[in-house]
Amino acid sequence: MEQEQYPNYEGLTFRQMALEDIPDVMVIEHESFTLPWTEEAFRNELTQNHFACYMVMQYLGQPIGYAGMWTVIDEAHVTNIAVLRAYRGRRWGERLLRELMRTASQRGMQRITLEVRVSNEVAQNLYRKLGFKPAGLRKGYYSDNQEDALIMWADLPERGSA
């Protein structure tokens, strides 16, 4: 049996998203979603939404993924998480989500939530692996095909632990 290969994470960095990142983020966004956000939506998140926190994951200096969340009182809501197709299936998304969760915890968040398409079993498996549990459905949530969204929640470690 062929041994599964995982990437060498040396050269992997995370940083706060800036307006200059939007063109690279749009490439990832269009490659990842049937209903991609617009450049204007990202610009508004970065400049107008004081609840928003967005990060870029870079490998060897190149953006390969991004994630965002809103932090309100003690809860974080994942708005987006995406990785370039060429980097999928090798735990890059897991690293990105772990970093987002770590950041949420550092900001004093106690819980984190997200929605995921009911058909996206790969993402659901990752979320379960990181402690997310199903908590309900949003009927017809996705406007492209009226697919339901599974709502998932996870508890975060206290700030300074884990």
Query: What are the residue numbers of the active site?
Result: 115, 127
Q: 75: closest CA among 43, 56, 49, 101? A: 101
Q: Which token pair is 8?
A: 């060498």
Strands (E), 10-162: 12-16, 52-59, 62-72, 75-83, 111-117, 133-138, 149-155
Q: Tokens standing for 75?
A: 């809860």
Query: For 22, phi and psi rounded to 5 degrees?
Result: -55, -45
CA distance 158 to 107: 10
Cα distance between residue 100 and residue 44, in whole Å: 20
